[in-house]
Amino acid sequence: MKSISVSTIDLGIVCPMANEEFAAESFVREVLQQCTGFRSVRLFAVLDRVSRDNTLNILKDLALELPELQVIFAPENRCVVDAYVRGYKEALAAGCDWILEIDAGYSHQPSDIPQFFHIMSQGYDCVFGSRFCKGGRMTGGVKRYLVSYGGTALTNLLLGTKLKDMTSGFELFNCFTLNSILDRGIRSRGHFFQTEIKFYCRNFNLAEVPINYKVDGNSVNSTAIQDALKNLWRLFVLRIRGKA
């Protein structure tokens, strides 16, 4: 694989946000501090009607100071997946070469970002954050740990994937890879979409890096589990039939 200098790369950062008024500004600043040396950097903060506090106004004010920050209000979003997809499409439309996805609220740590760039610059198509590989950690919720770890094991068994963490949402793509994912379409309407994306990426040059994930307090509800099982079975059937 051919190495790449980040000075030739336009970086897009996709970060859905909701009800983050006490941490939004510090989080944006810390993320941008970790994203240096690129030809250009843009952070796409995506908000919708789920956010009912003052986060939107705080970010709009911050954008007047930080030209890298672009605030997107998308009231038409119907689920969490819509927020991510809107961010992906904005980054691709802006001509970004690499697209980093990170969750707000410090469940993902900005200090983990540089290792994604280091690996990606070696010529990979996508780099996934892993809580379960050597050096990775997940703190703050035993139930969430069991769901994520068990979901990874079941997914690898049924779909033939080999990642150590199939449910993480901290990841970096090149534009070609992300375009190919969107072209296939993301069917899941819950957090399983992160697993669906990884399944679609299984034949690309990919790598994992350890991350420190802090459970944000939002439990995995029965609706999300039902969506995951339904879509896991759908992908399994597609794989068996040779159509995925």
What is the average pLDDT across 217-233?
83
Q: Is the dihedral of CA 199, 205, 207, 213 positive or negative?
A: negative
Q: Which residue has the higher pLDDT, 179 or 217?
A: 179
Whether 56 and 48 have beta carbons less than 8 Å apart is answered as no
The answer, yes or no, to whether residue 244 has pLDDT greater than 80, is no
Question: What is the C-alpha radius of gyration for the chain, rounded to an integer number of angstroms?
Answer: 17
- pLDDT score, position 18: 93
Q: How far, rounded to the nearest angstrom, does the alpha carbon of residue 55 sit from its chain's CA centroid?
A: 20
The answer, yes or no, to whether residue 243 has pLDDT greater than 80, is no
Compute the distance between CA of residue 182 and CA of residue 198 in angstroms, rounded to an integer.
Answer: 12
Q: How far, rounded to the nearest angstrom, does the alpha carbon of residue 15 sit from its chain's CA centroid?
A: 8
The answer, yes or no, to whether residue 195 has pLDDT greater than 70, is yes
- pLDDT score, position 108: 97
Whether 96 and 42 have beta carbons less than 8 Å apart is answered as yes
Compute the distance between CA of residue 4 and CA of residue 57 in angstroms, rounded to an integer.
Answer: 37
Taking only the tens place, the pLDDT of each residue in 116-131 is 999 999 999 999 999 9
